[in-house]
Chain A
C-alpha cells in the first residue's frame, strides 16, 4: 500500500552544523511533497514543498531534494540553530490519494548549543 516513511527517527546535531532529514515513499504516482516542522504544543508548520517535476528546491536555509528513481526525499537545513529543534514530517499529496495529505513517521531533530 501507500506509505511515506523516514529512515531516522531521531537526529542530534551541534549548533551551526548542517542537518539532513530523509524520507522514503513507496507510491510512484506521488507528485507533490511537503516538509513540515512541528514544535511541541503546536500544529505542523509548512517549511518547503516540491513537485515531482523538480529535483531540487531551495528556501531560506532549507533545501529539499527529490530522487524519483529511488523514491527518496530529503530536507537539508543549513547552519542549524537551537530554534530548529522540532519534529519534522514529510508529507505526500497526490497519487491515488487525491485530496489527502499523508504524513511520514517523523524525525525528532535536537540541536545542541
Chain B
C-alpha cells in the first residue's frame, strides 16, 4: 500500500459545528503532516507529527486541533471554523521528519464552511 487516504473527500459544515478530518497510511511512515491549500495557492504547512508526537505547529488557530492516535492515523478536529477556513486540507506522510525523505500526499478533503 503506497497511498495516503483521506476522508471525507468533501465536507460542508456550519460555523458552530464540530467535525473531524481523517488521514491514514500503511507505509510505515513515522512523520505525518497537515497542509492547507487555498484555491490557486501552494499548500501551506499547518502541523507536523513525528513518531506520534507534535513536532511543528505553524501558529495555527486553536479551532484546528490535530491528533495522532497511532503511527498510521492522523486526525484534524475542527470546531467553530470561519468561512475563510474553507480550503483543501491535505495530509502527507514521509519515512521520517526532515531532509531527504520522500513525501506522499493524499487527495485532500475539500472543506466548505458556511
Number of A-B contacts (CB under 8 A): 59
| Contact present for B90 and A99 (CB under 8 Å) | no
Please count how many residues in chain A sit with their CB below 8 Å of the partner chain's CB atoms: 24
Classify the interface of chain A: helix, strand, loop or mixed.
strand
| Contact present for A43 and B107 (CB under 8 Å) | yes
Contact of B98 among A34, A36, A99, A102 (CB under 8 A): A99
What residues of chain B lie closer than 8 Å to A36, measured between beta carbons?
105
CA distance A11 to B45 in the complex (A): 26
Most buried by B among A51, A103, A104: A103
Tell me if B17 is interfacial: C-beta within 8 Å of chain A: no
Task: Using A42-B108, A43-B90, A99-B98 as known contacts, say yes or no to A34 and B42 having CB atoms under 8 A apart.
Answer: no
A interface with B by C-beta (< 8 Å): 31-32, 34, 36, 41-46, 49, 51, 89, 93-94, 98-106
